[in-house]
Structure 1
Amino acid sequence: MRSTLAALALLTGVAGAQAQTQTEVVLQYPFPELFADTHKKIAEEFAKVRPDIKVTMRAPYESYEDATQRVLREAVTNQVPDVTFQGLNRIRVLVDKNIPAPLDGYIAAEKDFDKQGFHQAMYDIGNTNGKVYALPFAISLPVVYVNTDLAKKAGADIDNLPTTWDGLFDLAKKIRATTPGANGMTYAWDITGNWLWQAPVFARGGTMLNADETKVAFNGPEGQAAIRTIARVVTDGGMPNFDQPASRAAFAAGKTGIHITSTSDLNKITQMIGDKFVLKTHTFPEVIAPNGRLPAGGNVVMITAKDKAKRDASWEVVKFWTGPKGAAIMAETTGYMPPNKVANDTYLKDFYVKNPNNYTAVKQLPLLTKWYAFPGDNGLKITDVLKDHLNSIISGARTKEPDAVLADMTADVQKLLPKSVGAAK
């Protein structure tokens, strides 16, 4: 009896010691309707390989905006989670407030990190002021969605879809001609953060501001081409005055031939289509070498823990979530794409064979660049100003004067840059 009690006491002591050495990492993420199952499954896999780290999840953020606002408030009272998932275009505002920890030291200490699928484009996305503060988790890129039934009726070769804007607009016109009442093309111009304004500018090698952020730069040749293209979506593509949900619904209902939006919409649109028609995705047109890029949408993960032991444990969490296993789980459970190369090339090889529409965005991975965030306290206001000007084109109010709209956009944004910046000429 004594030996049994002693054994039980020893086991209890061992269990207690293990519990005491276990480090807790508190994690919080947005959009539970998209990511709840994803994070649950990744956490289960992580627990198998790192039982010494306990991952506790807070109630999810409702959105990217909610995520950023809550972290900004919590930082004041030291109540931030240890790990937070944020929208890609929210990195800057948190770094400006010194909230996330730089990851460069952790990355440098890893051996053969590239063999785990990590690469420079991943680091570039989370780089601010020369340091890496975030790693991308769930990535979306702009792609072209095609209703192959309408495209075939218009005479298109589905295996060789147009790769230029002129080609797409020509197909859109043919779709309108062969299917009366159909929209030739729609464009999700109002996606948050001016994402599909930045895309055609970046695709030609342009930028939002100049190198030292003292002056608007989207009014150059790249921006001129971009805004004229958006105007052509209305004039040549026949796009009605639609916002993003209306464009999505019309395409899924079979009333639009070509729809340009985020790859993150793929699962949702596929489900909405059902068996109404066959969908095919296609790469974003005219990403011009050598400097053409596409802004990455989606979310990143940051370490906000202050305690060193918590930071070290949080790094293990971040590394697993963005590594091959975590990234593969994310891709299989959402409409997003992992930036991790090993996840795409090895873990998801069969997945992409069975789901070629998902692979379109993966082919564009080498084109990744940061989703730009404007500097200063007026950064979010600038986003609204740009959206209002783009709306004047889509609504028909100023569709025929895109160059004038661009000039007004330029002037209005310049006024809203920080005084020390915007005053520069």
Structure 2
Amino acid sequence: MKHTLIGALLLTTSTLPALAQDDTITIDFVYPYSSLFDVTYEAIMPAFKAAHPNININIRASYEEYEDASNTILREAVSGNLPDVTMQGLNRQQILVDRGIAQSLEPFIAKEADFQKDGYHEAMLSLSTFGGEVYGLPFSVSLPVGYYNMDLLKSAGVETLPTTWDEVVQTCQTLKASGSDNPIYWDWAITGNWFFQALMWTQGVAPVEGNHINMDTPEALKTLETIKKIVDGCEMKNLSSDEANSAFAAGDLPMMFTSTSNVGRMLTIKDDFDFVTGAYPGIDGQPAGLPAGGNAAVMTSTSDDPAVRDAAWQWLKFITSGEGAAEVARTTGYMPPNRAANDLILADFYEQNPQKATAVKQLPLLRDWQAYPGDNGLAITQVIYDGLERIVTGDAQDMEDLQQELSEEIEDLMPHS
């Protein structure tokens, strides 16, 4: 049973046993999305090395995305090649806990005299807490937002950002009438069915309740119908996320709906146009909730050497601390789930970086990014992905039929006691 802990991880002094100057401990570390996070860890590393000169961080080849991260760790647990610390999607931690791969951090936390469980957003920390114990420390939090090229919108006569998906479709039609043949990208393929879950939470309904996935509900049908409305009403092209990001950066795509995580990178690669972000639209008004994306640092070390495990803890603790976590906001579009970073170190940051502030304003909407129950959770993710792809490619036309098919496929994959 999970419970929420209240409080923030503040940067703490090292508890690593004293080492001789020439003693070096190396720990293996791996993370996903190198295009987003390489710059973050490059910014963190000098401060960490200054504080811990005897700890060497060996960074393994990065995971492509969160499903790859989960599958890779599961394989490495079998082959005996686990890293000491891994970054895992918030919705992919439970299977690692259930299989004894992720290790409780409570013994390390207990030794920290000034460690405070304080300042983490509920949807983040609760996803790293199992059976009353913390198994991960959240590193970054993301929410879905709208990306807008205001030069293209204004040239088409659009002055106001859409707040509902009906308004989005109307804006698409205005853009198409003004000559745009590619008005929108809605990031349906994003990891973990995140945007499907976003439309469910928008309606105030959890995608998963207990051991039931709410694919058979009226809200799920409304979700599928809304996706089809976006695809058909905007004549959305079936781009990859990378293709959409490139098109937006080049000034060829007026609207894009994706994670705030890429805002920092977009600011550095975009052409010279007025780029703003806007709140994620709702179906019938403001969303009732939105899933918290992001990742957490998890210890998976199999070392019997206490010094190695303590070194892994020092790294894990540092990157989720106030100063370490602040680099997340500075270098990406993610928000650090840490009060020391948000309230102290980044006091003026969001005022000076309005594109990154949109997601912060949506923080009251944070809800769980949910994992699907049972050993077939990843397979269920693929089933829903395939269903969304059928909408985007035009293969699925009747949403009631699609809902029925998806519900039956999911039920076959659910755990049955």
Q: Give the TM-score, by structure 1 length.
A: 0.82
Matches within 5 A, 1:1-400: 17=20, 25-50=27-52, 54-64=55-65, 65-76=67-78, 78-104=80-106, 106=108, 111=114, 113=116, 117-128=119-130, 130-158=132-160, 161-177=161-177, 179-211=178-210, 213=211, 215-275=212-272, 277-286=273-282, 292-305=288-301, 307=304, 310-399=308-397
- Compared CA separation, residues 415 and 76, structure 1 to 2 (3 A): closer
Q: What letter corresponds to residue 91 of structure 1 in structure 2?
A: Q
**Which structure shows the higher helix fraction?**
1
Q: How many angstroms does 1:210 deviate by?
A: 2.6
Alpha-carbon separation, structure 2, partners of 1:300 and 1:206: 25
Question: 1:175-222 CA deviation, whole Å, 9 max, x = no partner?
Answer: 222x223334321101122111111112222223332x1x33133232
Q: String of CA shifts for 1:215-235, please: whole Å, max 9, x gaps.
A: 331332322222121111123
Structure-1 separation of matches of 2:189 and 2:361: 25
Q: Which portions of structure 1, spanning 4 or more consecutive aligned residues, are displaced by more than 6 angstroms?
A: 287-291
Task: State the alpha-carbon separation in 2 of the partners of residues 221 and 198 from structure 1.
Answer: 14
CA 1:288–1:123 in 2, change beyond 3 Å: closer, same or farther?
farther
User: Structure 2: which amino acid aligns with 1:279?
Assistant: F
8 Å contact from structure 2 (residues 164, 283) kept in 1:
no
**Contact 2:124–2:292, Cα closer than 8 Å, also in 1:** no
1:410 aligns with 2:407: yes
Higher relative contact order (CA 8 A, sep 6+): 2
Gap change, CA 1:342 and 1:162, over 3 Å in 2 = farther
Please give the TM-score of this superposition, normalised by the length of structure 2.
0.83
Query: Structure 1 stretch 302-311 or stretch 165-174: which is displaced more?
Result: 302-311
Cα displacement (A) at 1:357: 0.6
Aligned-pair Cα RMSD in Å: 3.1
Query: What 5-or-longer segments of structure 2 have no aligned partner?
Result: 1-17
Distance 1:114 1:62 in 2: 29
Q: Assess if the C-alpha contact under 8 Å between 1:182 and 1:255 holds in 2.
A: no
Tell me how far 1:332 sits from its aligned partner.
Answer: 1.9
- Structure number with larger C-alpha Rg: 1
Code of the residue aligned with 1:294 in structure 2: it is L
Change (3 A) 1:364 1:316: farther
Equivalent-residue separation in structure 2 for 1:17 and 1:223 (angstroms)? 60
Q: 1:114 and 1:129, CA in 2 relative to 1: closer, same or farther beyond 3 A? A: closer
Counterpart of 1:293, as a letter, is: G
Counterpart-to-counterpart distance in 1, 2:37 and 2:237:
32
The question of whether the paired residues in 1 share the 8 Å contact of 2:143 and 2:359 is answered with yes
Letter in 2 for 1:60: A
Quote the offset at 1:144 in angstroms. Answer: 0.7
Distance verdict in 2 for CA 1:253–1:402, change over 3 Å: farther
Give CA deviations for 1:238-293 in whole Å, capped at 9, x if unaligned.
Answer: 31333333333343343433211111222343444311x21111111239999933
Q: 3-state DSSP class of the match of 1:137? A: strand
